Amino acid sequence: MDPVLEYVFEIKATIDPDLHIGRGPEERLSFTPVSGGSVDGPRLQGEVLGGGGDWAVERFGTAQLEARYLIRAADGAVIDILNRGYFRASPDVVARMDAGEDVPETEPGLYFRTAPVFQTDAPQHRWLAEHQFVGLARDEGGQVCIRIFLLR
């Protein structure tokens, strides 16, 4: 059986400037605050609450990401998200992103993938805490946009 992906929603997380934490041999540790955003799609709508963030450890051109923040669904339920993944981009793509260009997640030279895990006790959203998901991410106008797919 081959895996099947079902598009369920997109997260658009507004981010603040990175905070440099430290540097070790061949690595850089930083934190990017999440200050808000939106969630919209066929299976979930709501808002990203401010106060979370993304810790990144960059080694040899690849950043290992661990973001944690909250979503408030349109019905008021609060959903915790822990989103781990990887980011790397060619120097050309990084330069375009730094210049403010919106680079799609399918761009050659860009690898920005996540595996979000959700927690909530809201019965109408239990499906989030009972399935595996994959995220395809991109930067767009000061937001990290992640298209979330349920892995069937």
| 68: containing domain | 5-151
Q: What tens digit of pLDDT does each residue of 119-147 get?
A: 999 999 999 999 999 999 998 877 899 99
Instruction: Check residues 5 and 97 and name the one with the higher pLDDT.
Output: 5
With 0-12 / 13-18 / 19 or more C-beta atoms within 10 angstroms meaning exposed / middle / buried, residue 91 is: exposed
Instruction: Check residues 103 and 114 and name the one with the higher pLDDT.
Output: 114
Question: DSSP label at 102?
Answer: -
Query: What is the average per-residue pLDDT within 8-30?
Result: 92
Q: What tens digit of pLDDT does each residue of 63-99 get?
A: 999 999 999 999 999 999 999 999 999 999 989 888 8
d(CA 149, CA 128): 11
SS3 of 25-42: the string is CCEEEEEEEEEEEEEECC
- Angle ∠(133,33,150) on CA atoms, nearest 5: 10
Total domain count for the chain? 1
CATH of residue 93: 2.40.160.20
Contact yes or no for 147/140 (Cβ under 8 A):
no
CA dihedral 133, 54, 69, 116 (to 10 degrees): 10
The answer on pLDDT for 29 being more than 90 is yes
